[in-house]
A and B are shown apart, each in its own frame.
Chain A
Amino acid sequence: MWARDVEVMLGVWLIISPFVFVHSDEATLLWASDFAAGGLVATFAALSYWRPTRHAHLLTLLVALWLVAFGRFGAASPLPPGMQNEIVIGLLLMMFAIIPNYATQPPDVWFDQSDQTLSMRAHRASLGGNRP
């Protein structure tokens, strides 16, 4: 789940970005974009820990697409630092969001489906041990 952990951190970074990059008071859309995207990314990453919503991290791809598109086209170039930050974080999130949850383990579908329940396997994978 390391990709999910990084996504939470990047979400928090987005939420503090308006203060780090000192967005102007007029840039309301940029403030809103940073807060909303950060909150959504962290939420999707957290939801991915719960088995019924384990694919939630894929929704982060949509947020990342928004960040890159808004960051690039939301202002005239040269872009203000806050907009460039959105592009960089958006590109980073695109790379992390496609990493599977238990990336170090073989995918679930490759395990024998007869002897164990899916939740048991997820549990075993979460312990991170090597295969017998």
Chain B
Amino acid sequence: MSQSLRGFPADSADLSVVIPPWKHNPSAWSQRIPICILALVATVIAAYMAMYQWRIVDDVWDPVFGEQSRKVLDSDVAKQMYGWFGIHDAALGALAYLGDAIFGLAGSTRRWQYRPWLVILFGIDVIPLGLVSAILVVAQGTIVGYWCFLCLVTAAISLALVYMAIDEVYASLKLLYLVGKRTGSAKAVWLAFIGRPFESADQAAADMVRRAA
């Protein structure tokens, strides 16, 4: 059976369609697995820093800034956040990076259409949270005056993840935008967001895809 550009029915749908302006399927495993691996690396690094904040390890490795890392991780800001959240900020960071990997792994290779809610949740975890954490790390260095090598590594990973995830989030948001434009109905956008199949949404999706070369 020839595969359809449409998403419904999934039995005959082409799950690996390309979404211009890109030349690839943003929900392909080749796109998502690298994100998950990178996010897991950041999870391990953040968990290591959390272990220092919990004093499970006595010292934190920093080949560039030496003991400045300890000053950052034990700073008043870090202590303030510990007071607010009840757990250390690095532990929260580790959970957020792990969330990137969890939300990156779930879903089919056409999840930008089948589960936009999942892609957008993934996008919220990766993009705004990633940008805020990167800004905080830089602020730490410029305002407090101490730098932390591993914090900078995770901030760089955050920015790389934003770049890697943006195509898929764009695909889901564009779909919702097109559904809204086509139907003029907020309810239709909501149904498309939670991943319900209906004619106008599937047509909107079919219009924005191309067959993979």
Let me know if A103 is at the binding interface, CB within 8 A: yes
Q: Which of B10, B86, B103, B114 contacts A95 (CB 8 A)?
A: B103
Comparing A10-18, A26-34, A44-52, A72-80, the segment that makes contact with chain B is A72-80
A79 to B54, CA, bound (A): 12
Given contacts A77-B83, A131-B15, contact A110 B8 (CB under 8 A): yes
Q: Which of A87, A96, A107, A115 contacts B114 (CB 8 A)?
A: A107
Let me know if B213 is at the binding interface, CB within 8 A: no
Bitwise, B95-110 to A at CB < 8 A (1) or not (0) is 1001100110111101
> Total interface residues on B, using CB and 8 Å?
31
Let me know if A132 is at the binding interface, CB within 8 A: yes
A79 with B9: CB separation less than 8 A: no
Let me know if B115 is at the binding interface, CB within 8 A: yes
Main SS of the interface on chain B? loop
Bitwise, A87-119 to B at CB < 8 A (1) or not (0) is 110011001101110011111011110010000
Nearest-neighbour CB distance to chain B for A68, whole angstroms, equals: 9
Given contacts A91-B95, A107-B114, A110-B114, contact A99 B106 (CB under 8 A): yes
Residues of B within 8 A of A (CB): 1, 7-13, 15, 82-83, 85-87, 91, 95, 98-99, 102-103, 105-108, 110, 114-115, 121, 195-197
Known: A109-B195, A110-B10, A132-B11. 10 other contacts (CB 8 A): A87-B85, A88-B95, A95-B95, A99-B106, A103-B106, A111-B9, A112-B9, A112-B10, A112-B12, A131-B13
Residues of A within 8 A of B (CB): 2-3, 71-72, 77-79, 83-84, 87-88, 91-92, 95-96, 98-100, 103-107, 109-112, 115, 131-132
